[in-house]
Amino acid sequence: MNAPAAHSLRNRQGTILIVTLTVMSVMLALAASMLRGTQLSRRQFRTELHARQADQLLHAAIELTANRLVNDRPISEQQIISSRDIVGQHEANLTVTASPREAGGWLIKAVVEYPLGGLHPVRRRRTKVFLKADQPRPPVPSIPKPTSFQEPT
C-alpha cells in the first residue's frame, strides 16, 4: 500500500515540475518578445529623432545662407557644426552651396548628415531658389493694444 502511494506522489511531483517549467518557458519567451519590441521601438524613435534634427538643421542652414546673401556676407562651402549648440547630442556634417542663377537670385543647396560618424546616419538634402524679394524679415515685435481708448485733452 505504501509503494503505490509513493509512486503516485512522485508522478504528481514530476507533473508539477513539467507544468512549472512550461509556464516559465512561456513567460521567458513573452519577456524576450517584449524586450525585442522595446529595442525596435527605441531604434525607430532614435531614427525619427535624427531625421527631425537633420530637417531642422537643413532649414536653419538655408535660412542662415539666405540671410548672409541678403547682407552680402560670404558663406563657406562646407561646415562642421556642433548641433549640441542647438539641441542635439551629436556632430553634423552640413554642406551648403549658393550659386547665382541666370534668371536672378540664388540657388541654395544644403546637405546634412546627422549624426556624423554614427552607426545609422540620416542624410537629408534640400534645394531652395532664393530671390532678393524673398529676403528673410526679422520678426515684428508685438505691441500691446490698449484696453480702452482715451483721447488726450
The confidence score (pLDDT) of residue 77 equals: 58
Find, among 51, 120, 57, the residue nearest to 84 by Cα: 57
Cα angle 55-57-119, degrees, rounded to a multiple of 5: 75
Number of domains making up the chain = 1
In a domain, 130, yes or no: yes
Report the residue count for the chain.
153
> What is the distance between the alpha carbons of residues 62 and 108, in angstroms, rounded to a whole number?
7
In a domain, 120, yes or no: yes
What does pTM read for this prediction? 0.61
The confidence score (pLDDT) of residue 36 equals: 96
pLDDT of 79-94, one tens digit each?
Answer: 555 566 555 677 888 8
In a domain, 92, yes or no: yes
Burial class (CB in 10 A: 0-12, 13-18, 19+), 109: middle
Assign residue 105 a region: left if phi > 0, alpha if psi is -120 to 50, beta otherwise? left
- According to DSSP, the residues that pair with 78 across neighbouring strands are 95
In a domain, 152, yes or no: no
Q: What is the pLDDT along the chain (153 residues), one digit of tens a residue?
A: 456 666 677 788 889 999 999 999 999 999 999 999 999 999 999 889 888 888 888 888 888 888 888 777 766 655 555 566 555 677 888 888 888 888 888 888 888 888 877 788 888 999 988 886 655 555 445 555 555 545 555
